[in-house]
Structure formats: structure tokens, C-alpha cells
Amino acid sequence: MKKIAIILIFVIGFSACKKEAGEGGTSVIEGVVYKIHTYESVITELDSLGNIDTTYKVIDTLYYQLDAGKDVYIIYSNDELAIYDDKFETDYNGRYRFEFLRNGDYTLYTYNDSTVWISSEISIKYEYPIFKHIKISAKNSENLVDDFIIEKNQ
């Protein structure tokens, strides 16, 4: 009788434990980091005499995958202020993949490189984080994250 009670306590103890988000599961989170380059062009049209007739300002945007080596960080909760638990360096196509995750809430982030021009010769470069939140609710799932867009403006 005593043995059955001890076994029953262990079974109840192990089944009652709720595992938090983190490693040890069978799910995957993956995505891509893209870079956007926005630039302005000025188009000038001349009239038949060669005088400036109209001038247009055209803004265009190019999308391209990031070079290899951009770090993407994961936090095993939805708290953006927590210290990251793991990181992944993107491959040559800007792809990243976190494997062996349990059900739960996760926060992914990477840094956007930005430049502010004070004048034509003076600029300030800085980075700021871009966050994505994802919830894994099923085992053996592959979770695609909306792409990280890193803006690079001229």
C-alpha cells in the first residue's frame, strides 16, 4: 500500500508540472530578415526649347535579403525587457531558425541600423530593436514569423 501511494504521488507530481516556454520541445520558429532601401530621384523634363518644363521627385523602394551574419534573438516569454535566452546568426539569405521549442509565448528581436544626417557631412549612426511576438500552442509545429524589415534610408 505504501509503494502504491509513493508511486501515485510521483505520477501526480510529474503530470501536474506545467512546462514553461523554452527548449525541450518539438516545435520550430523560423523567418527571414529583409532590408529595405528607400531613395529619392529627381526627374527633370525639358520643353522643346531645352528649358526646364517640370521637375518630379520620385521615391522608390528596393527590397533585398540581408547579408549573412545578422543576429536574431529569442526570449522565452513575451517580456521585451528580459535578457535574451538564445540567438541565431542569419544565413546567406537572411534566414533564421529556432528549433526544439515547447508551447508558450516567445519574443524575437533584431536590431535595425539607422543613420540620422545632421548636415551633409555629419551623421549619427545608431541601432534600435524590432520585436516580434509569437505563441506556440501545438506540439510539432513549424511557426513562420512575419519577416523582419530593416529599413535603410538614404
- Whether residue 82 lies inside any domain: the answer is yes
Could you tell me if residue 91 is inside a domain?
yes
The DSSP annotation for 76-139 comes to SSS-TTSPPSEEEE--TTSEEEEEEEPSEEEEEEEEEEEEEESSSS-EEEEEEEEEEEEEE-ST
pLDDT of residue 113: 78
What's the rounded mean pLDDT across residues 97-123?
A: 87
Strand partners, 149: 34
Instruction: Determine phi and psi for 66, rounding to 5 degrees.
Output: -70, 150
Q: How confident is the model at residue 123 (pLDDT cuts 50, 70, 90)?
A: confident
Confidence of residue 154 (pLDDT cuts 50, 70, 90): very low
Q: What's the total number of domains in the chain?
A: 1
Pairing of strands 148-153, 23-46: parallel
Is residue 7 included in any domain, yes or no?
A: no
| Within a domain: 42 | yes
| Amino acid letter for position 118 | I
State pTM to two decimals: 0.69
Parent domain of 68: 16-153
Is 92 within a domain?
yes
Instruction: Assess if residue 10 is contained within a domain.
Output: no
Residue in the block written with cell 536574431: 72
CA dihedral (135, 140, 146, 149) in degrees, to 10, reads 100
For residue 55 the three cell numbers come to 521637375
Whether 24 is covered by a domain: the verdict is: yes
Express each pLDDT in 47-101 by its tens digit: 666 666 666 666 666 666 666 788 999 999 999 999 999 999 999 888 899 999 9
